[in-house]
Structure 1
Amino acid sequence: MKDRYTDDPKAGYGEEVVGGYGAGAPATYHDVDVFGHEEGHQIVYKTLSWKLVAVLMIAEIVSNGMLSLPQSLAVVGIVPGVILIVFLGIFATYTSWLLVQFKLRHPEVHSMGDAGFILFGAPGRELLAFGTVVFAVFATGGQLLAGQIALSFLSDGKLCLMLYTGIFAIPTLLCSFPRTLDRLSWLSIPSVISILVAGIVGMIGAGLHPTPDRHIDIARSSSFYEAFFSITNPVFAYAGHFMFFILISEMKRPQDAMKAAYVLQGFATTFYAVFAIVMYVYLGPTVASPAFSSLETKWAKAAYGIAIPNFLLAGAIYSHTAAKLIFTRFFRHSRHLYSHTVAGWSTWTLLILLMNAAAFILAVAVPIFSYLIGIAASLFAAWYTYGIAGAFWLHDSYHDGDGVRTWKRKWAQTTLSVLTFAAGAFICVAGTYVTVRGIVEAYRSGSVGSPFAC
């Protein structure tokens, strides 16, 4: 595959010279990316270092999703469960590399919608952009539910659950309001610390108050439905790639993005594996999801209380992402994107309110909302995190290389890319199937509540 751009010491702070963008002098990365050169702009987006991007990624991905991992080990056994967590971490690192390479070769890509346009034209842009917004809103709602559980535990359930959700939604809304991710990155530092400390507190609590008469299964046999339903927990615990393009677009040096991805996946995989093993070993096969709910009361309150900043910031990042995609689509190459205009701020405020309001309404009004999150993750996040990354490499190697001859010459990478795409398809179909079946069984058992219930 031919290089689209090379380093140019005259291009400023590590910019690259990009070939193939028209006649005349070659363009630099920052000539063609979504925010362009920002000299004189009132609102400057490209300020993130790779370290702050790593913090944002960890705050977004390592959140309440990890609390379901011990239960996955309880269903399939400790050895298959840990192998799966580690494998998915390695797999997510590989797909991160594919996404970063695609972004560097296509600086104009700001979101999955832009990437969909390159791959599939206008229909691809609309579908992938729609999926990004839907999943981000659903993920925000998931964080609101996590905050609801935490606040309910801390107050011994003295208030209506809908009130807890509303109370938690207010700071989530306020934290999602900054126009640039740089502001959120600094807020994400205490978020990362909180989920790390909460996990440690949870493991200590489990060790001091283990479940009596527990047993540990090395491996367990179960039906496909039970096994895959539990497997979706670790699969979607890594499902944060849908906002990687948006994060990289606000970096000072996009070519450092893989450093952030390595930190993210290294931290997430290690922390997930240790947390899942310790919680399962001490709490046994009856461990709940979320796992903190299986702890002795005071330890559960401590763990939930410490984790609240992470639940809040993760929700804010998701709703910010949904608003940012639409806002950038509206005002791309417009002064409203980078200036303090009435139209710009009015639109941004409206989008932030709409995204957070939609998440809140879904969380409190839809009794099967937690299942809908699983469906959204299966339909969209499975592709964004795993499958479509393979299509990115196949596309660029074909169009920028020698077509099929490049695929044949680089047969190993071609095979990996095809398998990656197939894995995304399998997770999408199987994940949707088990989630829909879970909804049917929930209604059949009468465990589905009513809208706006306390």
Structure 2
Amino acid sequence: MDEKAAAITYTHRDTSKAGHDDLNGPGHGRYDTEHDVFGNEDDHQIQYKTMSWQLVAVLMIAEIVSNGMLSLPSSLAVVGIVPGVILIVFLGTFATFTSYLLVQFKLHHPEVHSMGDAGYILFGRIGREVLSLGTIIFAVFATGGQLLAGQIALSVLSDQKLCLLLYTGIFAIPTLVFSLPRTLDRLSWLSVPSVISILVAGIVGMVAAGINPVPNRVIDVAVSSDFTTAFFSITNPVFAYAGHFMFFILISEMRNPQDAMKAAYTLQIFATAFYTVFAIVTYFYIGSTVASPSFSSLPPVWAKATYGIAIPNFLIAGSLYSHTAAKLVFVRFFRRSRHLHEHTLLGWGTWAGLILIMNAAAFVLAVGVPIFNNLIGIAASLFAAWYTYGIAGAFWMHDAYYFHGKMHALKKYWMMTIASMLTIVAGGFICVAGMYVSVKSIVVAFNEGTLAEPFSC
């Protein structure tokens, strides 16, 4: 047996009971609790595997359906309403398919806690380090993105009476506090008002746009533009679905991981439907001049109302991202040790330190790097494009090859093989094209001198 084949199960070799009996139906086999990330928790002081699929669905929605949706109307303004809507629906369907593949892989490999663990199974030690580091980087950048969303919200609410740096600092404090719970079930209950807030904010925003339509607005069915402009706008809906990097961590804290697809279906149906309606209605009433974020295109009173209602979502989404980055490192440090499941000084001290580091890094990046928004695009292209879309195909092909007859299985299930290969190609295209337009936007900003000073107001 070659080294790669020996490494595919990470902590164990016997995978016959891990749900491999049905290649196309995750969860139909038995889930191998013996090799689960957190093991048997009956006698543990801190228990992680406590969440129902309903709470996981709420967490997923709170994390994914956030400030990213506010850029979707501007995407329609760039490419036109018909191509834009088709893209939003297609990417939602595509994300549902890749969710299915990720859940199936997790059920086949209960020891997988993060993308890093999955990377070890596919690519060995280098894969583990690259995908772990990518998850941490993207989670920290996403936290910084939520801090900037909070900065905008607080600035609008207070009529810009304070320095923007102070708004970001004010918003960073509760984000850090909310990310402190050790288990995701605590955050899941906080995510309930988070989901309600973004849903209500979106509805209020659509009502406000309908009540205050822009006179003589331009609404285009389709728009012709250059590649850079078009793809830069396309990245908005692409990364509005970019939450798959958290899925393994979320599923690991479920009571019944076999129910994970119920949560994923709930997420994708809600997100796709809400994104589509929000983008169409907002663009229809505001037209081609719609801003990103779109709430900023509303009259001042309505802008304050929508941003104020959305603040809980920005807070919890940021907390979820920083929690995810800290949880990956924490489990990596203490997997199978008593510090993971007991109230020890070392365990809590390490956890608090990791939370502080992740939130502090997000804050410093958000206010100290003038090109931070562009760097978010680069991080999303490098990592989220693969985590959300591309790498899922590699997961399916790996398990089909090693557990179902190698090349014979890939030929037998040829439709899934082709779909998985196309998924990998799509992830690669999004990665390369996204990197290109992000780097080009940085060059343009430098040449035009539009970048702010670090730590400026």
- Give the TM-score, by structure 1 length: 0.95
Q: Given the alignment, which residue of 11, 17, 20 partners 1:5?
A: 17
Does the aligned pair in 2 maintain the 1:203–1:279 contact within 8 Å? yes
> Could you say what secondary structure the match of 1:5 adopts?
coil
Does the aligned pair in 2 maintain the 1:5–1:16 contact within 8 Å? no
Whole-angstrom distance in 2 between the partners of 1:86 and 1:136: 25
Change (3 A) 1:191 1:167: same
1:170 to partner: Cα distance: 0.3
Aligned AA (2:17): Y
Q: Given the alignment, which residue of 351, 365, 369 partners 1:366?
A: 369
Change (3 A) 1:76 1:344: same
Q: Is 1:313 equivalent to 2:300 in the alignment?
A: no
> Could you say what secondary structure the match of 2:225 adopts?
coil
Q: Is 1:340 equivalent to 2:348 in the alignment?
A: no
1:5 to partner: Cα distance: 2.9
Q: Given the alignment, which residue of 64, 69, 90 partners 2:67?
A: 64
Q: Is 1:221 equivalent to 2:250 in the alignment?
A: no
The 5 A counterparts of 1:18-57 are 29-57=32-60
What is aligned with 1:80? Answer: 83
Q: Given the alignment, which residue of 165, 169, 189 partners 1:166?
A: 169
What is aligned with 2:453? Answer: 450
Whole-angstrom distance in 1 between the partners of 2:32 and 2:360: 36
1:6 to partner: Cα distance: 7.0
Q: Given the alignment, which residue of 278, 281, 288 partners 1:278?
A: 281
Whole-angstrom distance in 2 between the partners of 1:304 and 1:30: 44
1:16 to partner: Cα distance: 8.9
1:30 to partner: Cα distance: 1.8
- Give the TM-score, by structure 2 length: 0.94
What runs of 5+ residues in structure 2 fail to find an aligned partner? 1-13, 20-26
Aligned AA (1:409): K
Change (3 A) 1:199 1:303: same
Does the aligned pair in 2 maintain the 1:207–1:282 contact within 8 Å? yes
Q: Is 1:263 equivalent to 2:266 in the alignment?
A: yes
Q: Is 1:131 equivalent to 2:134 in the alignment?
A: yes
Change (3 A) 1:17 1:337: farther
Alignment deviations for residues 171-198 of structure 1 (CA, whole Å, 9 cap, x no partner): 0000000000000000000000000000
Whole-angstrom distance in 2 between the partners of 1:55 and 1:66: 17
What is aligned with 2:125? Answer: 122
Aligned AA (1:183): R
What runs of 5+ residues in structure 1 fail to find an aligned partner? 8-14, 19-27
How big is the alpha-carbon RMSD for the aligned residues of Structure 1 and Structure 2?
1.3
The 10-residue stretch of structure 1 (210-219 or 324-333) with the greater mean CA deviation from structure 2? 210-219
Alignment deviations for residues 264-299 of structure 1 (CA, whole Å, 9 cap, x no partner): 000000000000000100000010000000001100
Whole-angstrom distance in 2 between the partners of 1:217 and 1:331: 55
Alignment deviations for residues 234-256 of structure 1 (CA, whole Å, 9 cap, x no partner): 00000000000000000000000
Does the aligned pair in 2 maintain the 1:387–1:422 contact within 8 Å? yes
What is aligned with 2:412? Answer: 409
Whole-angstrom distance in 2 between the partners of 1:48 and 1:154: 35
Q: Is 1:106 equivalent to 2:109 in the alignment?
A: yes
Whole-angstrom distance in 1 between the partners of 2:452 and 2:16: 54
Whole-angstrom distance in 1 between the partners of 2:17 and 2:83: 43
- Identical-pair percentage: 73
Change (3 A) 1:172 1:293: same
What is aligned with 2:240? Answer: 237
Does the aligned pair in 2 maintain the 1:4–1:105 contact within 8 Å? no
1:3 to partner: Cα distance: 8.5
Structure 1 ranges of 4+ moved more than 2 A: 2-7, 15-18
